[in-house]
Structure 1
Amino acid sequence: MINFSSLEKITGGKNLQYISDKQIRTLIIDSRKAVGESGAIFFAIAGERHDGHRYIQELYQKGVYQFVVEQVIENLASLKEANIIQVTSSVDALQRLAAYHRTQFSIPVIGITGSNGKTIIKEWLYQMLSRNGSVVKNPGSYNSQVGVPLSVWQMQPHHSIGIFEAGISHPGEMEKLANVIKPTIGIFSMIGSAHDEGFSSQQQKIQEKLRLFKASHTLIYCKDHDAIDNAISLSNYKSLSWGYSISADIVIESVQSRYIVIYQGQRLSLTLPFSDPASIENCFHCIATLLWLGYNQMAIQEGINSLRTVQMRLELKEGINHCQLVDDTYNNDLAGLEISLQFLTHQHQRTRKRVILSDILESGLPNENLVKLIAELITKNHIDDFIGIGRVLGEYRKYFSSTSIFYESTEAFLRDFDTSELHNEIILVKGARTFEFEKIVNRLQRKVHGTVMEINLGALVHNLNFFRSRLKPSTKIMVMVKAFAYGSGSNEIANILQYHQVDYLGVAYADEGVDLRKNNIALPIMVMNPSEESFNSLQLHRLEPEIYSFKILRALLSYLNDQSLSIHIKLDTGMHRLGFEECDLDELIQLLRKHKNLHVASIFSHLAGADETEHDTFSKNQAGKFKQWADRISDALGYKPLYHILNTPGILRLPDYQMDMVRLGIGLYGVDPTTEGFRELKPVATLKTIISQIRHIKSGESVGYGRRGVASGDLTLATIAIGYADGFSRAFSRGVGQVLINGKRAPVIGNVCMDMTMIDITGIDAAEGDEVILFGSQLPIQEIASSIKTIPYEILTNTSERVKRIFVAESI
C-alpha cells in the first residue's frame, strides 16, 4: 500500500496542497478515461499539443482528488479537497512511483525487448505460464515510457510471475524502463528497422535495448542473430543462447516435422503447430525460457499445444437490430477488461451499452474477490446491461445489478437468450477462448456478404498524431469526413476524432452533419455545400454552412430573419471552383456588417496545386491574396475569425501557411497525395473479400461476359465475392487489376461482373473461403489507383456502402 504522504520522498516532488492522507490505487494519465473513485491519482503530463493541466478542474468535478502536476495550479482554492504534488516531470514521477511499487515484490519478472515479436512472445509466455500460476503482464503492447509503469503498477501479492515488454524510440529511454521493470530474466527477441531514425546505428540501438537487462540473472536470445550475439558476447551479461549453431547453449535440430532441443545433456523432442519462421523463432524464445525455469519436455509440449493465435485488437462490427458489436473474443483478464470497457464507454454512436462477459480464468484471485472487482468495473463504467456467462459469475451474481442476466454456458445463452431484446445499443462481447464467444458474435452480427472494408483505428490515430506533429501547438485541425469519411464510415471515424479532440469536422452536405449529430457527435461541423432546403437542418442541428456566393448568403439571411448562426466564408484565390473573388469583397463586407446575427467562424480558401513543387509560386501567391482579403474582412467585422488555407498536401509541404487552422482529408487515411513519399503514414483501410469457388479450365476456354477472358493455357480460376456494385471498377477487367491471395498476386481474368470477379490463381496455394486483399498495406491503394489511371480518393469513396465496415483497435 502506497499513500499520498509517501510521494514527496518517492518522486522528489513538493506538496502544493496536502489535505488528508489517501491511498493510491489507480493511476490516470488520460483525462478522457478518468473515473472518479477512491484512490485515483491523475498525472498531468504537458505534451507538445496536449496539456493535462487543462483538465484538472474537470477531473476534480468528476471526483478525482489527487494530482501530480508540473506547474503551479491556478485557482487552487477551488480544489479545496485535493492533494496536489508538484514535480519536475510527471512522466518521471509516474516511473518512480511504479519503480517503488516494483520493489515490494520478489517474484521472477521476465523483461522482453527487441524490434519485433515482443508482444507475441509475451502473450505466448503468458498462455504457457498461467497454466501453473498467476501471471501479470502488459495489457496489449503497453510498452512505452508511460505504458510500462502503468503495467507494472498492476503487480499484486497473488501474482507468482511477471512478464513485461519494453519498447524505445530514442537513446536514454531504456534506462528508465529498466528501473521500473527490474527484470530477473531477460529476452532479446530480434533487431530490425523499427525506430531506426532515433539511433545513429543499429549497434547503438542494440546497446540501448540491452540496458533493460543490467540486473537480470540471465538473458535469453537467439545466437543466430550475429549483431545481437556479438554485442552480448562483448558484454558482461549472463546469457542463455539458443539457435541452430552448435555453439549455442540450447541447440536446435530440425528433423522433418519435429525439433530436437539439446540442453544440458538432455535431448527433447518437440512438435510446433506452425511453420512460418517468425512464429517458430518466437516459440523458441518461450521454450528457452521454460527450460531455464525448469520445465520438463512434457510440460513444455503441453504449453506449446495450448498456444493460440494472438489477435492484439478488438473489432467494431455492425450488429443485428441496429446494434454495434465490440468483438473482443480472444482473451479475458482484468486489465484487458478495463481497457475494453474504456473503449466501449467512449463509443457514442449508441446511447445504451451492454456487456456480455465470460468467467475470467486463472486470475490468481479467490473467485468472490475477482467477481467483486469485475462488478466494480461494470458499475464505474456506467454499463446499462450485463450478461455473465460461466459458473463463477453466476455464483456471485449478488454483486451485480438486479437486471443482470446469467447463463451457465455459451450454449445456454445461444439457446435461451431472445435477441429481439437487443435494439440500437452497443455491445461488448469479451470472453476467454474456451467459452467460444465467436459463436455469440456470429449470432449477433448482421449478415452480409463476405466483402468487408477493415478500418484500423490505431493507424488512423497514428496518422492524426503525425499531422499534429507537423503543426504549431496553436494551430487547430478540421478533419474532413465527407463522402462517408472517404469511404471509411463517417460516424465511427467522427467518434474517434471527437475522442482525440480535433477542433472541427467538415462534411459535404447537411444530411451528413445531421447524421453525425444523431450519433452524438458534438464537435463543430462545417457544411461545404449547403442548400436552401437544408437551412432548417443547419439551425436545428447547430451546423455551420460554408458561404461561397451572394445567392446562398442572401437566401440564408432571408431564412434566418435575425436569428443567429455561425458561418464560414469561402474565398476564391485561384482554384476557381467556389468562393468570393476580390471584386466581391466590398459588397460582402457590407452585408456582414449589416447582419450582426451572422457570426463568421472562419474565412478560408483552397490551394489548387499544393501537392506539386511546380505550383509552389502559385500557392504562395494564393496564400498572399488570401491573407490580404481575409484581413480586410476581419478589420471590417471588428474581430478575427479563424483563417485556413492548407489541405493535406499543404500540411505536408507548405507549413509556412498553417495560419489558425488546417483541413486534414485523405492523409488521415494513410494516403500521401504528394510525390515526396512521407513514409510515416500508415494505411488505414483494407478492402478484402473471399474466394467463393475454385475451378480448373482448359487452354482456349473463355471466361465471363462477352467471353473477354481466354485461357492461354490450362489454369486454375477463382471467383471472388466482389464486383463493380461494391466499388471494384470494371476498369480492373482483363488483367489490369491484381489482387493478393496468401501473399501472392493474382490477375483479373475477363470482365469484372456486378457482384463477382474471376481471377487467375494458377500456381497459388489457395482454397475456397480464403481471404483476398483488394488493397491494403501489402497492396498499396496508390498502386491500385495508378493501374486504372485514377487517384486513391476515387478508389476509397467508390467502395459501396453495402460493403460492411469493420473497425479494429488494439484491445488488451
Structure 2
Amino acid sequence: MNIEQFYPIFLQSSNVVIDSRKVEKGSILFAFSGENFNAAEKADEAMAKGALAVIVEDEKFADADKNIFYVPSTLIFLQQLAIFHRNQLHIPIIGLTGSNGKTTTKELISAVLSAKFNTQHTLGNLNNHIGVPLTVLSIKSQHRIAVVEMGANHQKEIETLCKMAKPTIGYITNFGKAHLEGFGGYEGVIKGKSELYDYLMENGQQILVNDNDPIQKEKTKDYSSKISFGTADSDYQFEAIYKDHFVGVKYQETEIFSNLTGNYNYDNISAAVALGLYFDVPIEDIKSAIGNYFPTNMRSQIQKRGNKTLVLDTYNANPSSMLVSLENFKSFEGSKTVIIGDMLELGEESRKEHQSILDFAKSCNFNEIITVGPHFQSVYHSENAFQNTSELVERLKLRPIRNENILLKASRGIALEKIIDFL
C-alpha cells in the first residue's frame, strides 16, 4: 500500500485516530504499537465498530479485503499521508510555536478567524510529530483556514513539523527557558524555535512579528514579508487595558477585553487581533470572539470558590512563565497564597532555576508560599515544602488555606490540579 493508492480511501473517512477506543463509523485507525502492546490486535475490533480502514505494522494482521493494510511504519505512513494531503490544500495555514502561550494564542487566533472563516485548529495539545500530522489530516475541504500548533523539546523538531504543516504564516510567541535539557540551554531554545523562521524565509512565506520582543525583531529584521504589531512603527498598534484581574487591548477606539489574567496574555491577545485585522475580520467580530473565549484548560484560568479567587495555571511551567505568573499575582488585592510546583526538563540548570524562582517569590511578600515536588523541596527548607500533591492534600485536610487569593502554577507532571477540590 502506498500513499497515492490509499489517499482516495482517506478522502472518504470521517476522521483519523490512533486510539482504538476512539474509533467510530468512518474512522481510519493507525494502529501504533509499543513495547508492551500490539495495537494491530485491535484491527478486527475496529472494523466491527465501523472503521473505514486500519493501518498496521504487523503483517500477520493485514487483510486488504477488509481494508486492513500493512505498512512498515505506521508513524512514517501517517506523516507521509499528512504531507500528501497538505499538498492538496490551497488555504492559509498559520504555524505557531514558542516557549509559552502557544495553546492560548492558538485558541484566540482560531476564535477570531472563526468569526469569518470555517477554521480548523489543533485540538488540545496535539502538537508533536504525531499530533501535527493528525491536525493536518483533520483539515477538510470545507475549511478555509487553519491554525497548527507546533511544540518541540529538541533541535530540528520544528523543522520536521514545518515540512508536514507547511505554514504560510508563522508566529513564535516567545523564547523562554523551557525544555532547557533537550535544547541544550537558552541559546538552543532560540535556535530550535527559530527553525519556524528558517522555513518561512526559505519558502517566501509571511511572519507575524511582535516588535516588542527584541529577539523576534532581530531575527526578522532583514526579512520583508512580515505582519508586525506592538510599536508605533508596526503594522498594528495596541494599548494594554485592564478590568479587574483581566487583560485586554485597545485598537484605535475599540476596547477588546478578554477573560484571561496576566499581562503576559496581552501579547497573545494582540497576536490574535493582528491576524484578525490582517484577514479583514470586522473589529466588532474580533471583539466578540475575544470576549467570548473562556479558558478551560488550566491556563490563565480564574475560578471563584466561595470567598476565594483561584488562579489556575497548572498545565505547564518553566522559569520564564513562572516568573510572569508570580509577577502578575503580586497585583491581586487581598491576602495571597502561592502554590508552585516543580519545573521539569531543566537539566543541569534545575537547582539554580528553582532557587531563583523561590527567591523571587519570597521577595514578593506573599502571605504564604507552598511548594510541591522534590526540586523545590531541595531548596525550600520549610514545613510548606511538599514532596508531592498527596502530601499537600493531607495538609489541606487538616489546615485549609484561609487567604483570599490562591495561585497554582506548576509543570503538568506535578498534577497540581488534584488539590483544587481541597481548597
Question: What TM-score results when the alignment is normalised by the length of structure 1?
Answer: 0.37
Aligned to 2:162, the other structure's residue is in SS state: helix
Amino acid at match of 1:164: V
Flag the structure with larger Rg.
Answer: 1
User: Aligned to 1:290, which of 276, 280, 284?
Assistant: 276
Alignment of 1:218 onto 2:202: no
Alignment of 1:27 onto 2:16: yes
Alignment of 1:42 onto 2:29: yes
User: Aligned to 1:787, which of 344, 365, 382?
Assistant: 382
Alignment of 1:143 onto 2:121: no
What is the alpha-carbon distance in structure 1 between the residues aligned to residue 160 and residue 83 of structure 2? 9
User: Per chain length, whose mean CA-contact separation is higher, i.e. which structure has more relative contact order (CA < 8 Å, sep 6+)?
Assistant: 2
Contact 2:99–2:178 (Cα < 8 Å) also in 1: yes
Deviations 1:715-757 (A, max 9, x none): xxxxxxxxxxxxxxxxxxxxxxxxx99x75215xxxxxxxxxx
Aligned partner of 1:308 in structure 2 is: 293
What is the alpha-carbon distance in structure 1 between the residues aligned to residue 25 and residue 382 of structure 2? 59
CA 1:9/1:790 → structure 2, altered by over 3 Å: closer, same or farther? Answer: closer
Question: What TM-score results when the alignment is normalised by the length of structure 2?
Answer: 0.65
CA 1:216/1:60 → structure 2, altered by over 3 Å: closer, same or farther? Answer: farther
Aligned to 2:59, the other structure's residue is in SS state: coil
What is the alpha-carbon distance in structure 1 between the residues aligned to residue 194 and residue 139 of structure 2? 28
CA 1:128/1:92 → structure 2, altered by over 3 Å: closer, same or farther? Answer: same
User: Aligned to 1:109, which of 93, 103, 123?
Assistant: 93
Amino acid at match of 2:394: N
Aligned partner of 2:3 in structure 1 is: 7
Deviations 1:271-310 (A, max 9, x none): 2436732111111111221221124554444444x24332
What is the alpha-carbon distance in structure 1 between the residues aligned to residue 123 and residue 181 of structure 2? 27
Contact 2:111–2:289 (Cα < 8 Å) also in 1: yes
What is the alpha-carbon distance in structure 2 between the residues aligned to residue 97 and residue 775 of structure 1? 45
Output aligned runs, 1:672-687, within 5 Å. Answer: 679=350
User: Aligned to 1:96, which of 77, 80, 83?
Assistant: 80
Aligned to 1:103, the other structure's residue is in SS state: helix
Aligned to 2:207, the other structure's residue is in SS state: strand
Aligned partner of 2:164 in structure 1 is: 180
Contact 2:40–2:61 (Cα < 8 Å) also in 1: no
Output aligned runs, 1:769-780, within 5 Å. Answer: 774-776=370-372, 780=376
What is the alpha-carbon distance in structure 2 between the residues aligned to residue 165 and residue 24 of structure 1? 23
> Which of the pair is proportionally richer in helix?
2
Gaps of 5+ in 2: 317-340, 355-360, 401-415
CA 1:88/1:73 → structure 2, altered by over 3 Å: closer, same or farther? Answer: closer
Contact 2:211–2:217 (Cα < 8 Å) also in 1: yes
User: Aligned to 2:102, which of 118, 122, 134?
Assistant: 118
CA 1:43/1:181 → structure 2, altered by over 3 Å: closer, same or farther? Answer: same
Contact 2:83–2:165 (Cα < 8 Å) also in 1: yes
Q: Percent identity at matched positions?
A: 23
Amino acid at match of 1:100: F
What is the alpha-carbon distance in structure 2 between the residues aligned to residue 273 and residue 455 of structure 1? 20
CA 1:120/1:211 → structure 2, altered by over 3 Å: closer, same or farther? Answer: same
What is the alpha-carbon distance in structure 2 between the residues aligned to residue 168 and residue 670 of structure 1? 20
Contact 2:53–2:67 (Cα < 8 Å) also in 1: yes
What is the alpha-carbon distance in structure 1 between the residues aligned to residue 417 and residue 215 of structure 2? 41
Gaps of 5+ in 1: 12-19, 262-267, 315-329, 331-437, 460-668, 684-739, 748-772
Output aligned runs, 1:204-603, within 5 Å. Answer: 204-213=191-200, 214-215=202-203, 217-234=205-222, 236=223, 238-244=225-231, 246-252=232-238, 268-273=252-257, 276-295=262-281, 297-304=283-290, 306-312=291-297
Aligned to 2:215, the other structure's residue is in SS state: helix
User: Aligned to 2:146, which of 139, 143, 162?
Assistant: 162
CA 1:164/1:56 → structure 2, altered by over 3 Å: closer, same or farther? Answer: same
CA 1:449/1:24 → structure 2, altered by over 3 Å: closer, same or farther? Answer: same
What is the alpha-carbon distance in structure 1 between the residues aligned to residue 238 and residue 277 of structure 2? 13
What is the alpha-carbon distance in structure 2 between the residues aligned to residue 300 and residue 284 of structure 1? 11
CA 1:215/1:309 → structure 2, altered by over 3 Å: closer, same or farther? Answer: farther
Deviations 1:430-469 (A, max 9, x none): xxxxxxxx9xxx9xxxx999799x997x78xxxxxxxxxx
Aligned to 2:220, the other structure's residue is in SS state: helix
Aligned to 1:271, the other structure's residue is in SS state: strand
What is the alpha-carbon distance in structure 2 between the residues aligned to residue 168 and residue 87 of structure 1? 27
What is the RMSD of the two structures over their aligned residues, measured on CA atoms? 4.8
